[in-house]
Amino acid sequence: MDIDRAGLAEFLRLRREALQPEDVGLPRSLRRRTAGLRREEVAVLSHMSTDYYTRLEQQRGPHPSPEMLAAIAHGLHLSRAERDHLFRLGGHRPTERGASDDHVSPGLLRIIDRLEDTPAEIVTELGETLRQSRLGVALTGDLTRFRGFSRSIGYRWFTDPQTRELYARSDRDHLSRLWVSGLRSVATRRGRGSKAAAMAAELRESSPEFRTLWATHEIGVRPQEIKHFVHPEVGTLELRCQQLVDPEQSHALLVYTADPGTESYERLALLGVVGAAGV
């Protein structure tokens, strides 16, 4: 497919001008005169240089890759239909819709953008973190940096011992059963040729613990009501996890909270300070 530079530039400009800073979790300055978002704000939200994004709006620059277009779609909080249109304007076929789709719905993005003082993340059905709040990064580190099967916390749980250090020892046996049960459920639902099935096959080869648990054929293991995180700077945190599920995308927004008046509540507030200092 050929790139439609004029159409791409116009579409980007119109979607940028239609967004307000508060729509994407950015502060509004008193002297703001720009209609909608500034180009540099879209660039930051899309994790690219301002120059690169500006050239796209000016109908020049390189042919954007699917990865760059996907990043812009997230930055502009595009709907799935808008994202597909952006891909076509950029000269690429839209990715197939399905369980492994990484495109986060605008609704979930709007919610997580407003959770500035709460640990939160958006994950796929395989436990791949697509987006984190600022305090979410402070709690677990940047989980969006992983690639391949390692994007899944369930995969890392059995292949990278360091993954378990963030969780209390008392929770680890249950979490092992939880990840295996969850992966079996997804693999069964998605079928033999799915990413979930391939991940399970690789883990059976590489992890004796996973292989043993897989052989039990346990299904339906539920998360515990309280998760115990062991943070290297603020100590143990007892956090409740609430889920908001987007059934169309098979994504879930996970929000972690502490009971008011508890030590974990105070430590979570301290984590906000620690996280802000690390920015």
Q: Cβ neighbours of residue 63 under 8 Å, at least 6 residues apart?
A: 3, 90, 91
Distance of CA 14 to the CA centre of its chain: 26
| Stronger pLDDT, 184 or 248, i.e. the higher one | 184
d(CA 197, CA 241): 27
Three-state DSSP class for 95?
A: coil
Cα distance between residue 180 and residue 244, in whole Å: 22
What are the phi and psi torsion angles at 189 (to 5°)?
Answer: -70, -40
| Share of residues in the chain with pLDDT > 90 (%) | 66
- Determine which of 21-25, 43-47, 232-236 has the lowest per-residue pLDDT on average: 21-25
Query: Residue 33 pLDDT more than 90?
Result: no
Supply the pLDDT for residue 138. 94
Q: pLDDT band for 30, please (50, 70, 90 cuts).
A: low
- Are the CB atoms for 154 and 127 separated by under 8 Å? yes
pLDDT tens sequence across 161-176: 999 999 999 999 999 9
What phi and psi, each to the nearest 5 degrees, are found at residue 204? Answer: -65, -30
Range picked from 30-44, 89-103, 243-257 for highest mean pLDDT: 243-257
Q: Is the pLDDT of residue 276 over 70?
A: no
Return the pLDDT at 19: 87
Residue 39: predicted pLDDT? 92
Place of tokens 């994950």: 123
- For the cut 90, the answer to whether the pLDDT of residue 120 exceeds it is yes
Sign of the Cα pseudo-torsion (93, 97, 102, 108, in order): positive
Cα distance between residue 171 and residue 229, in whole Å: 9
Higher pLDDT, 21 or 122: 122
Rounded CA separation 266/11 (Å): 46
Please compute the mean of the pLDDT values over residues 4-17 and round it to a whole number: 91
Compute the chain's Rg from CA coordinates: 21
Confidence bin at 96 (pLDDT 50/70/90): low
Virtual torsion, Cα 190, 194, 196, 201, nearest 10 deg: 130
pLDDT value of residue 273: 87
Is the distance from CB of 123 to CB of 251 less than 8 angstroms?
Answer: yes
Note the pLDDT of residue 100.
Answer: 55
Least confident interval from 17-31, 33-47, 49-63, 156-170? 17-31
pLDDT digits (tens, 9 = 90+) for 217-259: 999 899 998 999 999 999 999 999 999 988 777 899 999 999 9
So what's the pLDDT on residue 274? 78
| DSSP assigned state of 23 | G
- pLDDT for 79 equals 84
Smallest Cα–Cα separation from 127: which of 171, 105, 157?
Answer: 157
Q: What percentage of the chain reaches a pLDDT higher than 70?
A: 94
Whether residue 163 contacts residue 143, with contact meaning beta carbons closer than 8 Å, is answered with no
The C-alpha atoms of residue 138 and residue 213 are separated, in whole angstroms, by: 32
